């Protein structure tokens, strides 16, 4: 890729507000010549889209108390699947692990809590 093309594509990455953080990260890794990208998560048929609090803690390398605290601070946005039973979005956990708390804090929708 020539310098002009690289500059144009990097400008688009910076200015296009429709791109997600993971899409920007994946493109940046490609620019750096890294074809294996952690930013792109291929979710297969057997992979879960929602994970338990315990699994979320394992994925982020923190305790379950920290996951609970991150939920209270609106860093994580769990889904209530049954009354009192919460799950965390796999995609949100992966993005948070790549961007860190400062990059992802408060960036998502509020948790989908039922009124019942």
Q: Report whether 11 contacts 33 (CB < 8 A).
A: no
Question: pLDDT tens digit string along 2-42?
Answer: 888 878 877 887 888 777 777 777 777 777 777 554 444 45
| pLDDT attached to residue 35 | 58
Question: For the purposes of burial, counting CB atoms within 10 Å of the CB of 96, is it exposed (0-12), middle (13-18) or buried (19 or more)?
Answer: buried
**0.75 exceeded by the pTM?**
no
Which domains, from first to last, does the chain contain? 1-40 (no CATH), 50-104 (1.10.1660.10)
Among 111, 109, 108, 110, smallest CA distance to 21 is for 108
pLDDT (tens digit, 9 = 90+) per residue, 73-113? Answer: 999 999 999 998 999 999 899 888 888 776 544 444 444 44
């Amino acid at each position: 890729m020539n310098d002009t093309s690289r500059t144009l594509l990097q400008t688009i990455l910076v200015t296009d507000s429709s791109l997600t953080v993971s899409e920007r990260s994946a493109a940046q890794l490609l620019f750096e010549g890294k074809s294996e990208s952690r930013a792109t998560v291929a979710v297969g048929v057997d992979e879960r889209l929602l994970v338990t609090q315990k699994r979320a803690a394992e994925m982020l390398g923190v305790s379950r108390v920290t996951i609970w605290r991150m939920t209270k601070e609106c860093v994580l946005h769990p889904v209530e699947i049954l009354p009192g039973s919460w799950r965390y979005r796999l995609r949100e956990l992966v993005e948070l692990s790549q961007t860190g708390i400062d990059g992802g804090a408060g960036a998502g929708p509020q948790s989908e809590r039922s009124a019942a």
